[in-house]
Amino acid sequence: MPITSTSASRLPSPDDSQARLQQLVQRQRAFFASGKTLDPAFRKAQLRLLQQAIRRNEQALFDAMYADFRKPAFETFATEVGFVELELKLTLNKLEDWVKPKKVKETILNFPSRSYVHTTPYGLTLIIGPWNYPFNLLVAPLVGALAAGNCVLLKPSEIAPHTSAAITKLIRETFDEAYVAVVEGGVEVTQQLLAQRYDYIFFTGSSRVGQAVMKAAAEHLTPVTLELGGKSPAMVAEDADLELAARRIAWGKFLNAGQTCVAPDYVLVQEQVKDDLVQLLAKCIREFYGGDPRQSPDFARIINDRHFRRLEAYLQNGTIRAGGQTDSASRYIAPTLLDQVTWEDPVMQEEIFGPILPILTYRSLDEAMQVVNAHEKPLALYFFSSSENKKEAVLRCVQFGGGCINDTVSHLANPNLPFGGVGGSGMGSYHGKSSFDVFSHQKSVLHRGTWLDLPVRYPPYRDRLRTLRRLFRWL
Ligand code: NAD
């Protein structure tokens, strides 16, 4: 039975749906084998179709994300739709350069020769997205995968169902499903998808599921990129511009109601300036969202009841210095500052992923760096200071995916900075040219001249070892 758009998404029984997924994968393999995606002109035409579809569906995407977690249109444009549009624009402008084989330097050992690195698509790629930036984190990798010439199976998160439906509609009205397809569904569907063989898997989500993805990929030796999470610190030294630090930390933390993988998870501030910083953070919350943030059109809600209950429970420990109000009916949690927290409290045991900001202190920078290094390598780190020596020490001594000095989150806005984690926060990176690179195999090829064929490498070697050794040491 042929796969139709609807049949692929409403999967009746596990056996049945597994067979349908297999068919879909086979159709995508056949499409890739046709060689159509190897033509850069084809890729650009498809990226333009995606660009037009996003513009056409902009309002539907705003509505979907508002329905899922009351995400303000400004934030949806800045961090989802507009973000992907910028990625598309850059890719369309640069693709011809990126696909050109790159000539590399020769070695005299191969004289006469020329060497090139050719970028080729992997083939069939699976992209699995999370719910927190449900459009961006699925479609930004899609841009890179298509630019590199792959066929793509997309799996949006079921936890943002309106956005999942809006993406499915957008993709199905734009692409032949043998080229780009969407499969909606929850854990079971993702597991069925992971049972198939792909040439590349790009996963964004939690470290726990990342492990399951990597295990499934290992079955077929499929390479993976894992964009995971973790507890990203905002470190504030006593010599920082505290007012600016407070404003930029509050913005990065409460954007998307704290449901951002690179949000500052907690503040680690030098103890003598803690009270000043807490007061300034509380002032920023009032300035951003008013006296009652529940009334603000600019503050999102928690994605579902499970996450709401998990976050609400964090408020049992520590001292609330601002916020703390909750409303289960609307899944509202006020922007909250939590003081007197220890590393043993539940809020410090896992990634918070909500609008609760614990404030911890340190005495010396060495101590602060040791604390961060004693935990999983974070996806992001933010350091606020006016001292060049301190900035250099943090950059040298602490391992983290990426981050900012004297700001939060904004490193994602520069497409020239590869974005990704390290250790527990992931592997591989993307954005801008890195998105093209991550979905491309680097095929290294030597073109050897035919007019000369020195016999020195061929047996019998006789007494050539000494000459060879001298040549190697001279090189
Ligand atoms: P998640 O890991 O629960 O889900 C991600 C995807 O995996 C979803 O599509 C889901 O359907 C699927 N999934 C869930 N459980 C599964 C299982 N047992 N087997 C197979 N598939 C399964 O993540 P989430 O809750 O959607 O997103 C939040 C997490 O993602 C946080 O940890 C956050 O830090 C991380 N994140 C990372 C980045 C990044 O760029 N590094 C960006 C956003 C979110």
User: Does residue 261 carry a catalytic annotation?
Assistant: yes
Is the shortest distance between the CB of 108 and ligand 1 below 6 Å? no
Q: Point out the domain boundary residue: 202, 228, 254.
A: 228
11 pLDDT more than 70: no
In a domain, 470, yes or no: no
The total number of structural domains that make up the chain: 2
Is the shortest distance between the CB of 421 and ligand 1 below 6 Å? yes
Using most ligand atoms within 8 A of CB, pick from 68, 128, 206, 213 the residue to mutate for ligand 1. Answer: 206
Q: Are 45 and 162 in the same domain?
A: yes
Lowest mean pLDDT among 4-8, 390-394, 419-423, 465-469: 4-8
Quote the mean pLDDT of the chain.
Answer: 95
Q: What is the CATH number of the domain that holds 270?
A: 3.40.309.10
User: Does residue 404 carry a catalytic annotation?
Assistant: no
72 pLDDT more than 80: yes
Per residue in 89-131, pLDDT tens?
999 999 999 999 999 999 999 999 999 999 999 999 999 999 9
Name the E strands within 271-401.
319-322, 326-327, 332-333, 336-339, 356-362, 380-384
Q: Are 92 and 21 in the same domain?
A: yes
Overall average pLDDT of the 179-198 stretch: 96
Q: Are 212 and 76 in the same domain?
A: yes
pLDDT-derived band at 250 (thresholds 50, 70, 90) equals very high
Overall average pLDDT of the 203-211 stretch: 96
Q: What distance in angstroms lies between residue 471's CA and the mean position of ligand 1's atoms?
A: 53
Q: What distance in angstroms lies between residue 141's CA and the mean position of ligand 1's atoms?
A: 15
Q: What distance in angstroms lies between residue 410's CA and the mean position of ligand 1's atoms?
A: 22
- Atom index in ligand 1 nearest the CA of residue 210 equals 2
Please report the pLDDT score of residue 336 as a whole number: 98
Q: What is the CATH number of the domain that holds 222?
A: 3.40.605.10
Q: Are 202 and 262 in the same domain?
A: no
Quote the CA–CA distance of 152 and 440 in Å, as a whole number.
13
Question: Pick from 400, 426, 429: which is nearest to 414 by CA?
Answer: 429
Contact 433, 98 (CB under 8 A): yes
Side-chain half-sphere CA neighbours of 156 within 13 A: 25
pLDDT-derived band at 12 (thresholds 50, 70, 90) equals low
The boundaries of the domain holding residue 379 are 233-416
Select which of 151, 177, 184, 261 is catalytic: 261
3-state secondary structure of 303: coil
- Atom index in ligand 1 nearest the CA of residue 425 equals 41
Q: Point out the domain boundary residue: 396, 416, 436.
A: 416
Q: What distance in angstroms lies between residue 320's CA and the mean position of ligand 1's atoms?
A: 29
143 pLDDT more than 60: yes
Please report the pLDDT score of residue 14 as a whole number: 63
Q: Nearest 5°: phi and psi at 255?
A: -55, 135
